[in-house]
Amino acid sequence: MKYKLVVLITCLVTLIFLLPSNTRGKQSTKEEVRGVFFSYIELKNYLYGKDEKTSKKNIQNIIKTVKKNKLNLLILQVRPFSDAIYPSKLFPTSRVVVAKEGDKLPYDYLEYFIKQAHKQKIKVHAWINPYRVSSTTDTNLLHISNPAYKWLGTSHVEASAEMGIYYNPASEEVKKLIVDGVEELVENYDIDGIHFDDYFYPNKTIDLVSYEESDKKESLYEYRLNNVNDLIKRVYKVVHKKKNCVFGISPQGNIENNYQTQFADVRTWATKKGYVDYLMPQVYYGFFNEVKPYYDVIREWNKLVQGNVSLYFTLALYKTGVVDAFAKSGSNEWIEKDDILKREVILARNLKRYAGFSIFRYDYLVNQEVQVENTVKEVENLLEILK
């Protein structure tokens, strides 16, 4: 049965591809959003240890690359941890761009990114990881100005070898800090949006003290969902103080995983006002993925999203040329094919709610150290359908 389904999906995709371009799906009057994620890994590669002249030249080339690849949105990780790549009154400078956390910035990286991007009519969404403090438990790496530093040993943060250090999503002080950090960005920078990724609850122990101190009118599961929802609503409200600024989230592609591991209430965000302007689920699946076939997943999201919430899909350029073990019988798809992203976009364009896509991540567009032959061909094939 699964084999027949895969064959049917493949035939459908092939048929869509063979149709004239003007018949490939419902074409929106709005411009298709075409984003790329620029993570702290890239920040370290292109900015860390570089003098001002070199790093500015790198940023200019980054924007040119985005433009060359016919993309129009840069999702820039400005707070990968409890830190910042811009001058902040709330967070220390990030050690992904300076030698030690808290060191002085050579210049305002975020401001320069925005300036260069807007020259090319490329939008910039400031990507924040709200709860993550550090990927290691080494507290010596934290500057004394880091908000987490003063909370070490309290219920506001938790450290473990498995996750590093995280803020407690149930803490009111933590929520206020995150919202204030978003407000600082919105007020001081000409950004086009605020973006959260899929990291919410880090584990199932971090908020137990907070829950015990609560009135326990709701189950622990509901308590966790409501803690995240409360933060999302407050961030949305702050973002919308700025004209033409939007708030979006990239949850996990598997809808149920968001609930079971992150306590991320994507159904509420997708259907009710006042939470998000867009959802950009991480649909890191191929067509032959036995567990979660791409076509099934995008239809689920298309059915879920309602109202004024826009729907974009994040696609896995990083998977090209590698074995996808979780796909089971479809594990070799990313090795055997080199036009997966192209076909995924073509198919998505036929969905009613679809408004665009993004690529994870920037280095796979240009960096030969992470690219393989399939990566280059995937990009070339995708460009064929981007006008």
Structure tokens at 228: 């995240």
pLDDT for the residue numbered 387: 85
* DSSP state string for 154-210: STTEEEETTTEEEE-TT-HHHHHHHHHHHHHHHHHS--SEEEE-S-----SSTTHHH
Q: What is the DSSP letter of 240?
A: T
* DSSP state string for 343-366: HHHHHHTTSSSEEEEEES-THHHH
Per-residue pLDDT at 295 exceeds 90: yes
103 or 12: which carries more pLDDT confidence? 103
Rounded to an integer, the average pLDDT of 232-256 is 98
pLDDT for the residue numbered 30: 81
Per-residue pLDDT at 3 exceeds 50: no
pLDDT for the residue numbered 364: 98
Rounded to an integer, the average pLDDT of 39-66 is 98
| Spatial CB neighbours of 361, under 8 Å, sequence gap ≥ 6 | 36, 37, 38, 39, 41, 42, 317, 318
**From CA 376, how far away is CA 81, in angstroms rounded?**
31
8 Å CB contact between 48 and 96: yes
Structure tokens at 239: 């973002």
| Most distant CA atoms of the chain, gap in Å | 62
Strands 123-128 and 193-196: parallel
Per-residue pLDDT at 157 exceeds 80: yes
8 Å CB contact between 128 and 79: yes
Structure tokens at 87: 């001058």
Rounded to an integer, the average pLDDT of 324-343 is 98
Chain-wide mean pLDDT for the chain?
94
Structure tokens at 336: 């055997």
**From CA 235, how far away is CA 232, in angstroms rounded?**
5
Q: For residue 308, give the 3-state DSSP assignment.
A: coil
8 Å CB contact between 386 and 358: no
The string of pLDDT tens digits covering residues 91-137 is 999 999 999 999 999 999 999 999 999 999 999 999 999 999 999 99
Q: Degrees (nearest 5) of the Cα angle 15, 312, 21?
A: 30
pLDDT for the residue numbered 122: 98
Rounded to an integer, the average pLDDT of 149-170 is 97
Helix (H) and strand (E) counts in the chain: 15, 11
Per-residue pLDDT at 151 exceeds 90: yes
Residue written as token pair 């074409």: 27
8 Å CB contact between 129 and 81: yes
Lowest mean pLDDT across 9-13, 28-32, 314-318: 9-13
What are the DSSP E strand ranges found in the chain?
Answer: 33-38, 73-79, 123-128, 132-134, 157-160, 164-167, 193-196, 246-249, 278-279, 310-315, 354-359
pLDDT for the residue numbered 29: 56
